[in-house]
Amino acid sequence: MTHKMLILVLQLGLIILATRLSGWFFSRKLKQSQVLGELAAGMLIGPYLLGAVHIPALEGPLFAITEGTIRSPLNSTGWLRWDRSSCCSSQGWRQI
C-alpha cells in the first residue's frame, strides 16, 4: 500500500499545477477569466474524469471514489451526506 502522505502531496501538486496552467491558458489565449480555467481544471482532474484513471505505481487512481459512494451533485459539493446507519429510515439524507 502506498503511503498516504505521498498520495496527498501528489494530489496537491497536480491540483496546483493544473489550475495554474489552465488559468494562464484561459486568461492569455482565450481571453477569459482565469477562474474559468481553474474551474475547468478541477472538472478535468476530478474523480469522475482523469482522476478515475488507474495509476499502477499508486495501485489505483490518484483521486479515488470510495466504494459505496452515492454520486449526486449535492453529495459532490458537500451539501448532503448519506448516512448508512439510517438507510432504512426516512432519516437517510442529512444536511451537513
Let me know if 67 is exposed, middle or buried by CB neighbors in 10 A (0-12, 13-18, 19+): exposed
Please state the domain extents for the chain.
Answer: 1-65, 67-96
Residue 27 cell numbers, joined? 486568461
Instruction: Judge whether 59 and 1 are in contact, CB under 8 Å.
Output: yes
The overall average pLDDT reported for the chain is 77
> Is the model's pTM score more than 0.85?
no
Residue 53: predicted pLDDT: 83
How far, in Å, CA of 84 to CA of 64, rounded? Answer: 20
pLDDT in tens, 23-67: 999 999 999 999 999 999 988 888 777 877 888 887 888 887 766
